Each structure stands twice: as structure tokens, then as C-alpha cells.
Amino acid sequence: MKIAALVLLLIALLLGGLWIAYVQAPEPEVVCEHKIAITLAEVGDQHGGAVDNLIDQLKLQCVKEKRKLLQLRGKIVYARQAKCILAAETLSAAERCG
């Protein structure tokens, strides 16, 4: 009986570790803020005064898109894409994430 309990505990710990490693993902807001920060860093000082409204609209659209991806494709696909975007250093690298 103790061996069965130990085996079940090990399985539960393994599944918990796999969940954290592969499925745990940042919120869509965090992913979109990083993507916008990359965009602004690449654009530099070329943007004008109307950029703030455009950034707000871009963030809302990005969050909506990420939530839709999460619903339609599942948490594992979203987690893979979100981790890829957060690891990206350039906008082209972030766009290759999917």
C-alpha cells in the first residue's frame, strides 16, 4: 500500500513538473506588452504624438488575438507561442513565433 501511494505521489509530481515546464504561460497582456516594447525599440524616435492611441488599440487587438488563440488552439499551443515571443529580441523573431 505504501509503494502504491509513493508511485502515485511520484506521478503527481511528474505531471505537476511537466505542467509548469510546458503549459504554464504568461498572461496575454504581458506577451502583448513585450511585443509592443520590441516594436517601439525598433522604431526609435520616429513616432509622433498620435502613437499613444495607436499603441492602446494595438495592445487591445493583440490581447484579443491571444485570448482567441488560447480558446481555439489550446493552452499548450498558446504557451509555446507566448514563451517564444517573450524570448524574442526583435520584431521579426517575435513574428516568426506564429
How many Cβ atoms are within 10 Å of 32's Cβ, its own excluded? 21
The residue ranges of every structural domain in the chain are 25-95
Res. 16 pLDDT band, cuts 50 70 90: confident
Q: What is the pLDDT of residues 19-62, one digit of tens each?
A: 776 678 889 999 999 999 998 888 776 666 667 778 889 899 99
* Pick from 61, 70, 56, 57: nearest CA to 27: 70
Distance CA 48, CA 31 (A): 24
